[in-house]
A and B are shown apart, each in its own frame.
Chain A
Amino acid sequence: MKNHVLRPLFVVMGIVALILLARLVVVPKDFGAHERGYMYGWHRKSDEQVWKDFKVKYQGKEYCQGCHTDKYDAINKTPHKIIQCENCHGPAVDHPSDPPKLEIDRSRAQCLRCHYPLPYPTSGRSKIRGIDPDKHNPDVECSNCHNPHNPMGGLK
């Protein structure tokens, strides 16, 4: 065969060889088909550990119980015991070292998440007592009068 026919062929072969060699260097050793096979498990195995090491922020009620036993016990006697501390107090992360102080959500909007009345049949929402936020003391924080840790205990 003539040289001018073979020359581009060699060039293409060279490029393919380069790509394959580069792949050996660039693609990490743990990349390949893992437990879920070629279709669903084709990945870099070490990334699973990256996700497992992601920082936990919400620590749960029991984390708070250790130091704030009085508050934990108090709210557990009320219907609000179903609400996690961190839902209003914010994620604990590494509290008390970081952050030393949590920011409490005292907004009306926070209470209205449940206590804005929506009379929906086939939903638990209709069974929760609600207020009309435009008529019931607008511009005042709910916690000025109501104690969220003891909602049935009368007004402050």
Chain B
Amino acid sequence: MISRRNFLKTTAAGIAGITLPLAAFEIVDPRKLMAQEAKNPAKVRWVFLVDTYKCVGCGLCVKACKQENEIPYDANVTRTWVERYVLTKDGEISADTPKGARDGFTNSKIDLGQGKFKDIKKEDIDKAYFVPKLCNQCDNPPCVQVCPVGATYQTEDGVVLVDRKWCIGCGYCIMGCPYGVRFFHPVHHTAEKCNFCYHRISKGMKTACVDACPFGARLIGNIKDHNDPVTKIIMNERVGVLKEEYGTKPQVFYVGLSREVK
């Protein structure tokens, strides 16, 4: 004979089981996923081209980026920055990027940090150059893979974005990026990174840094468009990428990249 207690318990458990909709358990079908990947119908894939021969280290790109993208101007974080490399005859490599080159390079001394500077004589220099850096918008973005909440993701046109409302600030993506382009936004307290000025490129404009560069050292283009001048350079000329061995498939290409650049 069923008791009242048992009847109520069984009924409660039964109803709970029935009300669990099947949609709550999403079943992943690998074949469906593979088909989705293979289709890849995107007509736009944003890529970036940096000509290090043209860069003079004025830092106007960094200044424009910080103001365009509302990154607190005096905080020591930036979405893009410019590195200076100086190689001396004794084989030593010196590199610096004071304030991310927000104010350019107006000193021949290398900034070693903590108020220390290294003076390098003009006649000791073998080669010296500037390298602008920004997010590589990788085809295999490790920062996206490690996000536990789906707050960082890649759009159809290849740009990696951060959902500020969804980010929980765990910092995994900041650790996961091999290029060190991510940081915490000092105001929003969420992960922050270069997004190729997504608000500008989606309106047909160029990124703020591309527009600000007086020397044409920075260019943005669509690699799926074979008539795009940037695509032509990437396809026909000698270009390099950063840290290719990581398998991230970075989409920022460099003209005149040197092996010292990390």
| Residues of A near any B CB (own CB < 8 A) | 10, 13-14, 17, 20-21, 23-24, 31, 33-44, 47-48, 50-58, 60, 82-84, 86-87, 90-91, 109, 112-114, 116, 118-125, 128, 133
Contact (A51, B195) CB under 8 Å given A36-B154, A40-B144, A122-B256 = yes
Other than the given A47-B153, A87-B60, 14 more pairs (CB < 8 A) read A37-B36, A40-B153, A40-B154, A48-B161, A51-B199, A52-B203, A54-B69, A57-B67, A58-B67, A87-B63, A116-B104, A116-B107, A120-B127, A120-B129
Give bound CA distance, A22 to B106, whole Å. Answer: 57
Residues of A contacting B163 in the complex (Cβ-Cβ under 8 angstroms): 43-44, 47, 50
**Does B1 lie at the interface of the complex (its beta carbon under 8 Å from any beta carbon of A)?**
no
Whether the Cβ atoms of A123 and B215 lie closer than 8 Å is no
Please tell me which one of the listed residues A13, A41, A54, A119 contacts residue B154 in the complex, with CB atoms under 8 A apart.
A41
CB distance from A37 to the nearest CB of B (A): 5
Chain B residues contacting A87 (CB-CB under 8 Å) are 60, 63-64, 212, 214
Q: Which 6 A-B residue pairs are closest in the complex by CB-CB distance?
A: A43-B153, A113-B104, A54-B199, A120-B128, A35-B156, A125-B56
Contacting residues, chain B, for A114 (C-beta < 8 A): 56, 58, 104, 214
The stretch among B16-24, B90-98, B219-227, B238-246 that forms the contact with chain A is B16-24
Q: List, in ascending order, chain B residues with CB within 8 A of A43's CB.
A: 150-153, 161, 163, 166
User: Does the CB pair A124–B215 fall under 8 Å?
Assistant: yes
Q: How far does the Cβ of A99 sit from chain B's closest Cβ, in whole Å?
A: 13
Residue B141 lies at the interface, judged by CB distance under 8 Å to chain A: yes
Are the C-beta atoms of A31 and B150 separated by less than 8 Å?
Answer: yes
Which A residue's beta carbon lies closest to that of B61?
A: A87
Tell me if B75 counts as interface (CB < 8 A to partner A).
no
Q: In the complex, which of the residues B68, B107, B150 contacts A91, with contact meaning CB atoms closer than 8 Å? A: B68
B161 contacts A133, C-beta separation under 8 Å: no
A38/B28 in contact, CB under 8 A: yes
Does any Cβ of A come within 8 Å of B103's Cβ? yes
